[in-house]
Structure 1
Amino acid sequence: MKHKVKVTVIDKKVYPELQEKYCADPKAGMCPCYNIGDEFVFERDDENDHFWHGGLNTLVKTSADPDSVAGGPKMPHCSEAWDAISRYIYTGLQGGSIMKGWMKRENEMICCCSDGTRPVIFKIERIDEASLHSADTD
């Protein structure tokens, strides 16, 4: 069985009172790297290995200019986001349970980046696909 992983930006938050108090730019605003609704698909096979390239060129859907989105053709995923999501992506690409016993579905996880003043919230899903070889032998 082949496994892909789909990552969707489901929300973005901003805490202006924390930015005012702690950030060098007190008006930093929302994360500029992602947009709500952005979707990314990770594959790992003989032709693609998106994981080892920081998710570069995994963007499959956005409402913005793809060149300006992390994970698009010009920019890998933000390091704070990548640190939060990469372990679940790797597990899913290997066919493992992403969060069995915590989430309703073991192939899903909801997590966010570690930017405390403007976190981005991601839904990560393992997608299972029958391989071509197993379909040929059935």
Structure 2
Amino acid sequence: MKKVKITILKRTIQEDLAKEYGIDDFPKCPLMEDNAVFYADYAKPEGFCDEAWKAIYQYVFALAHGATETFYSGTWIKEPGIAIVCCNDGLRPVIFKLEATDIESK
């Protein structure tokens, strides 16, 4: 099994939904930072949001175990070994880039 590199590409806010449903002065995700990098295999990295992990772990697991085909029969990401995914926060989703690596998991 290999490690998967997880990079936070962007923290976003769905302005219209946040305005209607969020608290006053609704912030971008306070648990993650843009450009932060984590490495994972089957276990959630230390300091990683629990809810975000639930949303992305299946892709991390597949990449860690050597998935070599593009996901969804090539109708999504053009390069094998990469997934672009987001957490399940409907008001302020965080977007992640997952990349297979050659780093052995221990």
TM-score (ref. length: structure 1): 0.64
Q: Contact between 1:16 and 1:29, CA under 8 Å: does it hold in 2?
A: no
For 1:16 and 1:129, the matched residues in 2 are separated by 39
Off by >4 Å, runs of 4+ in structure 1: none
Equivalent pairs counted in the alignment come to: 101
The structure whose Rg is larger is 1
- Which of 52, 64, 67 lines up with 1:81 in the alignment? 52
Q: Residues of 1 paired with 2:97 and 2:29: CA distance?
A: 17
SS in 2 for 1:19: helix
Q: Note closer, same or farther for the CA distance 1:11–1:89 as it changes in structure 2 (3 Å cut).
A: same
Native 8 Å contact 1:7 1:125 kept in 2: yes
RMSD between aligned residues? 2.0
Q: Give the TM-score, by structure 2 length.
A: 0.81
**1:125 correspondence with 2:99:** yes
Query: Which residue number in structure 1 is paired with residue 25 of structure 2?
Result: 27
Q: Distance in 2 between matches of 1:38 and 1:129?
A: 18
- Which letter maps to 1:108? I
Q: Which has the higher strand share?
A: 2
Q: For 1:40, what is the secondary structure of its paired residue?
A: strand
Identify which of structures 1 and 2 has the higher relative contact order when contacts are C-alpha pairs closer than 8 Å and 6+ apart. 2
How many percent identity over aligned positions?
A: 34
Q: For residue 27 of structure 1, report the CA deviation from its aligned partner.
A: 2.1
